[in-house]
Amino acid sequence: MSMKKTTLCYIEKDDEYLMLHRIRKKNDVNQDKWIGIGGHFEEGETPEACILREAKEETGLTLTSFRLRGLVEFISDIWPDEAMYLFTADEFIGEMTGCDEGELEWVKKSRLPELNLWEGDYIFLELLDERESYFELRLVYEGDCLKKAVLDGRRIR
């Protein structure tokens, strides 16, 4: 079975990330979690086209400066496997709108440990903060529990 392909972007401003508190979508794997913005590829879309479309749909913002930071694979015993293209963005235009999947909020990076995140998200958020170079991360979950993390081919957890 092939992996579903998704994008995720952390939009940065004044040492904050724009976070989405997922509280509105039915049957949501991310229910009550805080994540960046993004979503599933449409037919024929590139990762860049997908994140531009998703940013506009979910926030009303048009990204004018963004870059691919890494590829994160999620392997799960209960959810479909996923290949997620991870971006950060630091420039945008437009006015922020509401999101039908949850509440958008600018959150200080120092507050991220206080939020309800997936365990593996802490790993790639730390990598976004510490590294400029591209990385590949594989996260293996059993249920909601992170069982294994492999960074650039080396097991780290």
Question: Domain with 25 in it: what CATH number?
Answer: 3.90.79.10
pLDDT at 26 over 90: no
Compute the half-sphere exposure of residue 129: CA atoms within 13 Å on the CB side of its CA.
Answer: 13
Give pLDDT tens digits for 54-96: 999 999 999 999 999 999 999 999 999 999 999 999 999 999 9
Strand pairing category for 82-93 and 37-40: unpaired
Residue 31: band (very low, low, confident or very high) from pLDDT cuts 50, 70, 90: confident
**Domains identified in the chain, total number:** 1
Q: What residue numbers bound the domain in which 131 lies?
A: 4-155
Residue 32: band (very low, low, confident or very high) from pLDDT cuts 50, 70, 90: confident
Res 101: pLDDT: 87
Strand pairing category for 4-13 and 82-93: parallel
Phi, psi of 46 (to 5 degrees): -85, 165
* Per-residue tokens: 96: 């922020």
Taking a C-beta distance cutoff of 8 angstroms, is the pair 8, 36 a contact?
Answer: yes
